[in-house]
Amino acid sequence: MTIVSQSNQRLISHARFAESLTAAWMVVELVVALWAGVVARSVALTTFGIDSALELFTALVVLRQLILHTQRATDEELDIRERQASRLVGFGLDGLIAYIVASSAWSLASGSRPQSSTAGVALALAALIIMRLLWRWRLALAGRLDSPALRADSACSLVCVYLSATLLAGLLLNALLGWWWADPLAALAMIFWIRGEAAEALEAAKTGRHGDDE
């Protein structure tokens, strides 16, 4: 069984708080990105919103595991749950890639011009700052707790930082220079980061180990 020592209780409490804040921010990203994406007809924004939904799921899974640790769940039970969650996330990310390719191809072929989105730009800027802070905080906690699940989820936050930067570039090029095609191209560029995240999730489902685990 997983026995939590008294010295780790405070760290686990901090980790649960960090995961709770991450989940709350993912809800904000999800709602704002999908709303702004639909209004502006932005493939990049809707992609960002769907990815936020998947990251919300992983954050909730890790938060649940941290709670179960305090209830002395067996290592086998935790491993099974983590593998199942990793498989679902991996399949979800592969589906997101298919959506990006189809939507971006349609947008480029039809010449659909997304509107500028002030809300989208503000969201991308906020995500760049907030997700970087959450990533560094949870990575430090994962190291002190020796938690592969928390370490893997913190890596998702780093991916979100890269996605935010890509989203911001696409939105600004469209708003400032009128380069409408920058929006679907920004969405396609996100595949580079999402593909790696999907591969790691599916590998974790098979082996129980994440790319960051040593």
Amino acid 191: pLDDT: 87
- Which amino acid is residue 87, in one-letter code? R
How many CA atoms lie less than 13 Å away from 151 in the CB half-sphere? 15
Looking at the predicted structure, is the pLDDT value of residue 51 above 50?
yes
Residue 69: Cβ-neighbour burial (10 angstroms; 0-12, 13-18, 19+): buried
pTM (two decimals): 0.79
Distances (CA, A) of 201 to 87, 137, 175: 6, 22, 35
Q: What is the mean predicted confidence (pLDDT) over 101-117?
A: 84
In terms of phi and psi (left: phi > 0; alpha: psi -120 to 50; beta: otherwise), the region of 15 is: alpha
Residue 64: Cβ-neighbour burial (10 angstroms; 0-12, 13-18, 19+): middle
CA angle 87, 47, 187 (to 5 degrees): 110
Q: Are 188 and 179 in contact (CB under 8 A)?
A: no
Q: Are 93 and 194 in contact (CB under 8 A)?
A: yes
Each residue of 138-179: pLDDT tens digit?
889 888 877 777 777 787 788 888 889 999 999 999 889 888
Q: What is the mean predicted confidence (pLDDT) over 69-84?
A: 65
Looking at the predicted structure, is the pLDDT value of residue 202 above 90?
no
Amino acid 214: pLDDT: 47
Q: How confident is the model at residue 30 (pLDDT cuts 50, 70, 90)?
A: very high
Whole-number Å distance between alpha carbons of 155 and 33:
21
